[in-house]
Homo-oligomer: A and B are copies of this chain.
Amino acid sequence: MITLLGAGNVATHLGLALKQQGYTISQVYSRTYDSAVQLAERLDAEPVDRLGDIKDGAVVYLCALSDDALESVLSGLTLSDPFLVHTSGSIPLSALSAYSSRYGVLYPLQTFSKTRPVDVASVPFFIEASNDTTLEYLTGLASRLSRTVHTLNSDDRAALHLAAVFACNFVNHLYTLSFDILKQRDIPFHYLLPLIDETALKVHALSPADAQTGPAVRNDTNIITKQLQRLSDPVQASVYRCLTDSIINSTKQH
């Protein structure tokens, strides 16, 4: 029996995957009642929007909350020594020690949006726990959800999360800037999809430094100057400049 705290993207995908694996979700907490109800319905759970309504007796209290929300939720809990688990890449395990004697981290390294199904079995999970018993429990739980489970300490997890911000969040934003550039001229974004796919696939086989192509790695100042002139938006131009400088800098080092 699991209690889920949070009803956002991560809570939704983990909750659904846990249910599919036969776990019972007893309660779903969100400070927004509607969000709690929506997810609780899909999980056959009870929705709650007050921390005081969260019941004792769940095996795990899984906190899939934004980093900002986590601390205020934890400090508002009235449970007796709950097994607390958070799902954050950047919050250390020790952040839970003030609230319980049994705690752990279950970090799924993936980008989750509510409307898009994700194959949780292929998501790598990174776990850390306060003692051997909690580690064993989390290893079992993660292994039922996913084919790929690693233990990782808090400092390495923070580095992994930072790398993921570059490789996912920043990458996706570059797709947004491409989208905007094309939209100005009514060129369909889907023209770029084979290129986007190949760019991702390429680093399965080559190191990213070896896979680099384009004007900046060739230091082709002709094209770089022309492309900068084409960017009328100052924010786009500053991203272009910043990444071009970083590629030139990186090419010298690799």
Asked whether A200 lies within 8 Å of B203 as measured between CB atoms, the reply is no
**Residues A212 and B173 in contact in the complex (CB < 8 Å), given A124-B191, A158-B230, A199-B167:** yes
A239 neighbours in B (Cβ, 8 Å): 166, 170, 242-243, 246
Copies of the protein in its oligomer: 2
Nearest-CB distance from A161 to chain B (Å)?
8
Q: How far is the CA of A167 from the CA of B156 in the complex (A)?
A: 28
Given the known interface contacts A193-B204, A230-B158, the answer about A169 and B215 at a Cβ–Cβ threshold of 8 Å is: yes
Q: Which residues of B contact A199 (CB under 8 A)?
A: 111, 167-168, 171-172, 200
Binds B, one of A38-46, A132-140, A178-186: A178-186
How far does the Cβ of A147 sit from chain B's closest Cβ, in whole Å?
10
In the complex, the answer to whether B109 meets A68 with C-beta atoms within 8 Å is no
Q: Is the CB of A162 within 8 A of B195?
A: no
Would you call A75 an interface residue if the criterion is a C-beta within 8 Å of the partner chain's C-beta atoms?
no
Closest residue of B by beta carbon distance from A111: B213
A interface residue numbers (CB < 8 A to B): 9, 66-68, 90, 109-113, 115-116, 118, 122-124, 148, 150, 152, 155-156, 158-182, 184-185, 187, 189, 191-218, 220, 222-223, 226-227, 230-231, 235-236, 238-240, 242-243, 245-247, 249-250, 254
Contact B178 A163 (CB under 8 A): yes
Q: Is the CB of B187 within 8 A of A160?
A: yes
* Interfacial chain B residues near A116, Cβ < 8 Å: 202, 205-206, 211
A250 to chain B: which residues have CB within 8 Å? 173, 176-177, 180, 235
Q: What residues of chain B lie closer than 8 Å to A242, measured between beta carbons?
A: 238-239, 242-243
Closest to A71 in B: B222
Bound: A201/B182 CA distance, A: 19
Contacts of A159 in B (CB 8 A): 181-182, 184-185, 187, 230
Q: Which residues of B contact A109 (CB under 8 A)?
A: 191-192, 194-195
Complex alpha-carbon distance, A181 and B163, angstroms = 6
Residue of B nearest to A194 (CB): B122
| Inter-subunit contact B209/A179 (CB<8 Å) | yes
